A and B are shown apart, each in its own frame.
Chain A
Amino acid sequence: MSLGLYRPGRSLLHRAPAWSKLLLLLAAGASSFLLDRPWQVASALAAVVLGYAVAGVPPGVMLRQARPLVWILAAVAFFHVLASGWERAFVVVGVLLALVLLAALVTLTTRTADLLDVLVAWMRPLRVVGVDPERVGLLLALAIRSVPVVVGLGQEVRDAQRARGLGASPRAYAVPLVIRSLRHADELGEALAARGVDD
């Protein structure tokens, strides 16, 4: 649930400016295709794990960052073992894992608002083609905030169904969830207006 959300701390990584961490992440992503030897990939993974240690993030939290990807990684590994051998499989899966863990490390050590400020600043040139960077930043923040809210709504719908002794029909779940989500969106819009977003 608290996946990738900022964990307060005073480490070097926490204190580094948000733009430097985003830049590092971009550079890592762009250069990841250069890694094609198992030892290189192993070093990259080790470097990322070291980053977690420096940031003081417990190993359990680190493992949780990778959990949503386990099945995808397993499938990719399986395919590559069959198609091109375990070395290739290790390289591909290792690079993916290292990048995901690195991205999570950035969000774990950087406040969402700081990340958004950087993204908004970087998007400023897009103004000339009609993009409002502040709007995009707000949209991203709302999306992040809405994940736990919608998860909570889903929980409520399930509880209400159980209370009425209804079975787990996907339709009986989806319809009320969509309705509640729309109502939430409505209320959120009103709250944003009250807080002067459109002014």
Chain B
Amino acid sequence: MIEVSRVTHVYGEGATARTVLRDVSVTMSEHRVGIVGANGSGKSTFARLLNGLVVPTEGTVLVDGLDTRTEGRQVRRRVGFCFTNPDAQIVMPTVQEDVAFGLRRRGLSREEVRSRVAEVLERFGLASHADHPAHLLSGGQKQLLALASVLVTEPSHIVLDEPTTLLDLRNARLVADHLGRLAQQVVLVTHHLELLEGFDRVLVFDEARLVHDGPPDEAVAAYRRSMA
């Protein structure tokens, strides 16, 4: 469960200060939560609050009762994060090494690391690419690798900030299919509205505020109206 209470976030100070989230409160316990909104409405900032990458200027964010302000480390172990650009989040030279990277310093034996990495690569259809340099993968495969590298650490929540924006439709679908199968709580920021079908709840952001909160069709309709 993720509880965001009375969060306001300001970037910069003085004359350059800019409020990007204004008094946002929401409790998310659903399995699938979507987030939509115009560019610059604060979605990415909101997503980054959920794993403590951004600590709010005011208000609190609790993940399973842990405060991101004081327990960022435990929070990040529970909340996996997937970015838009897979090239930036793949940090090791080869596929297998990148997946194994997240398991460092966890006190696992080499054997355990190997079997967990193999299992996750198999699941994401990357087993035959295990020793390939990451830069030779296609865009869709890179995003699947990024997802695999996050999931191998077995987080209980996963937050994704527009993971399909740089992908073509087929690869976007592929990534979405994998998301659909996850047992974890998923919080998905996206402009691909069709991916929200079957979601339990969708939040709509506009100009730093949470302006709508409801089932997907209703929220998507509200979003389309506000954009018109």
List residues of A whose CB falls within 8 A of some B CB. Answer: 2, 5-8, 111-113, 141-142, 144-145, 148-149, 152, 184, 187-188, 190-196, 199
- Verify A145–B53 contact, CB threshold 8 A: no
Asked if residues A195 and B88 are in contact (CB atoms below 8 Å), the reply is no
Given contacts A2-B133, A6-B131, A194-B51, contact A113 B92 (CB under 8 A): yes
Listed by A's residue number, 14 A-B pairs whose Cβ atoms lie within 8 Å are A7-B131, A8-B131, A111-B96, A111-B131, A112-B97, A141-B91, A145-B134, A149-B87, A187-B89, A191-B91, A193-B53, A194-B89, A195-B91, A195-B150
Q: When the two chains form their complex, are residues B92 and A112 in contact, meaning their CB atoms are under 8 A apart?
A: yes
Name the one of B73, B97, B136, B150 contacting A113, with C-beta atoms under 8 angstroms. B97
Q: A145-B134, A184-B87, A196-B73 are in contact. Are A111 and B81 (CB under 8 A)?
A: no
- The closest CB in chain B to the CB of A193 belongs to B53
Residues of A within 8 A of B101 (CB): 195
Other A-B pairs, 7, CB within 8 Å; known A192-B91, A195-B89, A199-B77: A5-B94, A5-B133, A141-B97, A184-B87, A187-B83, A191-B91, A196-B77
| Cβ of B72 under 8 Å from chain A | yes
Residues B83 and A190 in contact, CB atoms below 8 Å apart: yes
Check B214 for interface membership: any CB of A closer than 8 A: no
Considering the chains assembled together, what is the distance between the CA atoms of A143 and B91 in angstroms? 9
Q: How far is the CB of A132 from chain B (nearest CB, A)?
A: 13
The interface residues of chain A lying within 8 Å CB-to-CB of B131 are 6-8, 111
Q: Is B59 at the interface (CB under 8 A from chain A)? A: no
**Cα–Cα distance between A195 and B96 once the two chains are bound (Å):** 16
Closest-CB distance, B138 to chain A (whole angstroms)? 13
Instruction: Chain B residues near A8: list those with CB within 8 A.
Output: 130-131
| Residues of B5-44 contacting chain A, CB below 8 A | none
Chain A's nearest CB lies how many Å from the CB of B143?
13
Q: How far is the CB of B70 from chain A (nearest CB, A)?
A: 13
A191 and B84 alpha carbons, distance in the complex (Å): 11
Known: A194-B51, A194-B81, A195-B101. A112 touches B88 (CB 8 A): no
Q: How far does the Cβ of B152 sit from chain A's closest Cβ, in whole Å?
A: 11
The answer to whether A199 touches B76, judged by C-beta atoms less than 8 angstroms apart, is yes
Cα of A22 to Cα of B74 in the assembled complex, Å = 37
Q: What are the residues of chain B within 8 A of A6 when measuring CB–CB?
A: 94, 131
Top 9 A-B residue pairs of the complex, sorted by shortest distance between their CB atoms: A187-B88, A148-B135, A191-B89, A199-B73, A194-B81, A8-B131, A113-B97, A144-B93, A112-B93
Chain B residue numbers with a CB within 8 Å of A191 are 83, 88-89, 91
Is B215 at the interface (CB under 8 A from chain A)?
Answer: no
Tell whether B90 is near chain A: CB-to-CB under 8 Å: yes
Q: Which of A112, A194, A196 contacts B94 (CB 8 A)?
A: A112
Q: Give every chain A residue within 8 A of B89 (Cβ-Cβ).
A: 187-188, 191, 194-195
Q: Which residues of B contact A194 (CB under 8 A)?
A: 51, 53, 76, 81, 83, 89
- Of residues 89 through 110 on chain B, the ones whose CB sits less than 8 Å from some CB of chain A are 89-94, 96-97, 100-102
* Residue B60 lies at the interface, judged by CB distance under 8 Å to chain A: no
- Quick check: is B156 within 8 A (CB to CB) of the other chain? no
